[in-house]
Structure 1
Amino acid sequence: MNATRKVSAVLAATTLVVALASCSSSDAGGGDGGGEEGDAYSIALIPGVANDAYYGSVACGVQAVADENGATVDVQAPNSFSPTDQIPILQSVIATSPDAIIIAPTDSKALYAPLREAVEAGITVVLVDTTLDDPSIAVSQVSSDNEEAGKVAAETLAEALGDEAGSVITVNLTAGVTTTDAREAGFAEAIAGVDGLEYLGQQYSNNSVQTAESIVSAAIAANPDLVGVFSTAAFNTEGAVAALKSADMQDTVKVVGFNANPPGIEQISNGDVFAQVVLKPYDEGVQAAEQAFNALNGDEVEEVITTGALVATADNLDDPEIQKYLYSFDCPAS
């Protein structure tokens, strides 16, 4: 990566985490009139969870576009990926009347009502990474094509297994998270077409490493022919790796995950994980911010935008195209 500038502090909970670069004006525009001459638009970014480099990359993308537009960005993130933690932060942000809120909803239903309150208060809402069952209140939704990425994960696992037959399980997060649900749906569709592999379906870890470990340990005990684990998120991969190590099966069961955070890349380097599907959160942040500014400026807005995915393995980990999209709190120099 080129020279970097650090995103201030690590995304922390309930406090104003990152004043990602002060901008030219000290006056932040409100939801009913920012961006007038002498004012800078104020953008609030609410990621899905703190201390996750995926959302660090989203923040870097948002900040890059904000810098181009002379706007301010405030980032606040919940301690856990849950509506219980995220909704109070959202309500606090609404009270400050930013011009726009860019948010990764932690639940496709529970976040609808508070986000509707934001819209009714005159605040522009853009959904990034995750979405809602009814996204119509947002001007735009920007995410990875997670169903397609799930299919890519299935194809990757099938290639890793070759002609080996056996059973495969998915460890998912929590029902109602649109991104991980779509990943499992894509994986299930693709893996069903692979001869010799029996798909055992999915089980939910509820964001718990320990629960993910228990799920995989139980799968090993119940299915001696287990040959593959698909993990939809970092928590699950960590638990799966722990279970396989405890059973001394890390060399016989292939794991494909979704985690290009530093620990996820280390899992590839260590041989604990065969591959990680790498999304493009920086691009998501850029697109989400661009649509927010388009809406604020009365320009044309793209209602739905999807970004692509790559697959990182030990063989290609050093490729520039892979390195470019590894998740980080360090923003590329502008």
Structure 2
Amino acid sequence: MNIVKQGLAASLIALACAGAGASAAQAGEIAVIVKTTNSNFWQNVNKGAKAAIEGQSEHTMSFDGPAAESAIADEVNLVENAINRGVAGIVLAPSDPDALAPVVKRAYESGIPVVIIDSALADSAKGTYQAFLSTDNCAAGEEVAKRMIEEAGDSGKVAVMSYVAGVGSEIGRVGCFSDYLKNNSKLEIVGPYYSQSQMATALNQTTDVLSANPDLVGIFGANEPTAVGMGRAIVQAGKAGQMTAIGFDGNQDLQQFVRDGVLDAIAVQGSFAMGEKGVDTVIKLINGEKVDDFINTGVVIVDKDNIDSPEAQNVLY
């Protein structure tokens, strides 16, 4: 009797554990999992993904992400849950190149196609996902560096306000920005400082940097929350227009900073395109079609002169 009871208890526990994750996937569900849902940039990715799903009935879409980009374990759990409920495909923006690699491998072993967007996975993950869609972050960083040299001149201090150290997009974007300045100018880099993609942290860090370096000729905010915090700090310090300030990404706050002359320019990624093309690519994979290994979703340098142009308006959000 005790053995039977123990067996029944074990079965009930197993069933409870199986049901502890998300419920079963909807028919043909494509799980879009991003670094955080608390960002206009990622919500614009969501809009693009929805646009790809609309007008067809074979697939559904779910959109999720942690509360913050630094909540890496939470993103791993979201991917685990998607695999456990048997989704048809995954579009993933990995918050950490190493931490997300094992769970992507598990998706691959489960026969679920995975498309990576925005930030690269570690080299160890190659072969476990089918396509990578992103801004060429190194090329984008170099474009910002060229603009910085044009506007700020060839010498002086440039502060780098970065976000999460070691993230694939940060390595390319900030690394290539810094390398280009070092190799093509006499500009001295102050930083980088890491905001953990928190606007308030970036504001405080920028306030301190501006106070400690009154002779700055330039400053670069390398992603949306960081650039917004940087812009607000510049305004609060009364230093708008006193240095070349360039941000990355293109939400309403950053657009207004450009219009007001707080920021000289913003480098804007095709976030809508990441979502739309990411879902389109997964659907092609599900249908057995071949896709390119890398799809560049591009970047546009937006300033006061071109902010109302069709090219800019297509990427701003």
TM-score (norm 1): 0.80
Check 1:59–1:247 CA distance in 2 against 1; reply closer, same or farther (3 A cut). Answer: closer
Q: Report the equivalent of 1:257.
A: 247
Residue 107 (str. 1) matches residue 104 (str. 2): no
From the CA coordinates, give the structure whose radius of gyration is larger.
2
Q: Report the equivalent of 1:8.
A: none
Q: Report the equivalent of 1:159.
A: 150
Shift of 1:270: 2.3
RMSD in angstroms over aligned alpha carbons? Answer: 2.2
Aligned residues: 291
Residue 75 (str. 1) matches residue 75 (str. 2): no
CA distance in 2, matches of 1:282, 1:244: 29
Shift of 1:80: 0.7
Q: Which of 275, 283, 288 is the equivalent residue of 2:273?
A: 283
CA distance in 2, matches of 1:93, 1:55: 19
CA distance in 1, matches of 2:174, 2:297: 18
Q: Which of 25, 47, 68 is the equivalent residue of 2:34?
A: 47
Q: Report the equivalent of 2:132.
A: 141
Q: Report the equivalent of 2:235.
A: 245
Q: Which of 39, 48, 56 is the equivalent residue of 1:61?
A: 48
Q: Report the equivalent of 2:113.
A: 124
Q: SS at the partner of 1:192?
A: helix
**Paired amino acid for 1:66:** I
Q: Report the equivalent of 2:210.
A: 220
Q: SS at the partner of 1:272?
A: coil
Q: Report the equivalent of 2:13.
A: none
Check 1:59–1:209 CA distance in 2 against 1; reply closer, same or farther (3 A cut). Answer: closer
**Paired amino acid for 2:176:** G
TM-score (norm 2): 0.84
Shift of 1:76: 1.4
CA distance in 1, matches of 2:47, 2:298: 18
Q: SS at the partner of 2:275?
A: helix
Check 1:164–1:109 CA distance in 2 against 1; reply closer, same or farther (3 A cut). Answer: closer
CA distance in 1, matches of 2:90, 2:314: 27
CA distance in 2, matches of 1:209, 1:308: 24
CA distance in 2, matches of 1:83, 1:254: 33
Q: Which of 264, 286, 307 is the equivalent residue of 1:274?
A: 264
Shift of 1:213: 2.9
Check 1:245–1:281 CA distance in 2 against 1; reply closer, same or farther (3 A cut). Answer: closer
Residue 185 (str. 1) matches residue 205 (str. 2): no
Decide whether the 8 Å contact of 1:43 with 1:72 is kept in 2: yes
**Paired amino acid for 1:143:** S
CA distance in 2, matches of 1:51, 1:279: 17
Shift of 1:212: 2.1
**Paired amino acid for 1:50:** T
Decide whether the 8 Å contact of 1:259 with 1:265 is kept in 2: no
Q: Report the equivalent of 1:207.
A: 197
Check 1:53–1:206 CA distance in 2 against 1; reply closer, same or farther (3 A cut). Answer: closer
Check 1:57–1:247 CA distance in 2 against 1; reply closer, same or farther (3 A cut). Answer: closer
Shift of 1:45: 0.7
CA distance in 2, matches of 1:130, 1:164: 31
CA distance in 1, matches of 2:91, 2:157: 40
CA distance in 2, matches of 1:130, 1:190: 21
Q: Report the equivalent of 2:7.
A: none
**Paired amino acid for 1:119:** Y
Shift of 1:88: 2.4
Q: SS at the partner of 1:289?
A: helix
Percent pairwise identity: 27
Decide whether the 8 Å contact of 1:188 with 1:201 is kept in 2: no
Shift of 1:194: 4.4
Give the structure with the larger helix fraction: 2
CA distance in 2, matches of 1:160, 1:237: 18
Shift of 1:296: 1.1
